[in-house]
Amino acid sequence: MRALGRFLLVMPRALDADLMHEQRMSLSEYSVLRHLSETPGRLMRMSELAAACDMSLSGMTRLAAKLESLGYLKRIRCEEDARGANAVLTDDGLARLREAWPTHLDSVRRHIFDHLGELDLKKLAAAFSAMATD
């Protein structure tokens, strides 16, 4: 169990370090762009995006401001609830994500999948999904 605890601490740092070194992008920034790219209209409520990225709303607001200043997303008023805001992935943001994606994929392969050998990856993915929804 210590190995799992160590993995949970070390892995995000390793993935972040690779993205920072190769792309000058944090794992948190990558995660925001990825989540937005996977939603209809490339749009999410800021609160939902914060939850999806496991961040506080204030932390997401700061990160969104940075990504907005880079032209990677826009924040717009939520039509359903004027108190809320939506984050929208821009074309530049999608292009930046596509640029960073190979680096992230290589990092995940090197740090994780290369060590899994003959494990049944479908079962492993199902187990991770089950754990993430508990």
Q: In the prediction, which pLDDT does 111 show?
A: 95
Q: Which domain holds residue 40?
A: 2-133
What CATH number corresponds to the domain at position 66? Answer: 1.10.10.10
Q: In the prediction, which pLDDT does 82 show?
A: 73
Number of domains in the chain: 1
Say how far apart CA 95 and CA 92 lie, in whole Å.
5
Confidence of residue 4 (pLDDT cuts 50, 70, 90): confident
The pTM assigned to this predicted structure is 0.90
pLDDT tens digits, one per residue of 81-90: 777 899 999 9
Q: In the prediction, which pLDDT does 60 show?
A: 97
Q: Give the number of other Cβ atoms within 10 Å of residue 71's Cβ.
A: 13
Mean pLDDT of the 40-68 span:
96
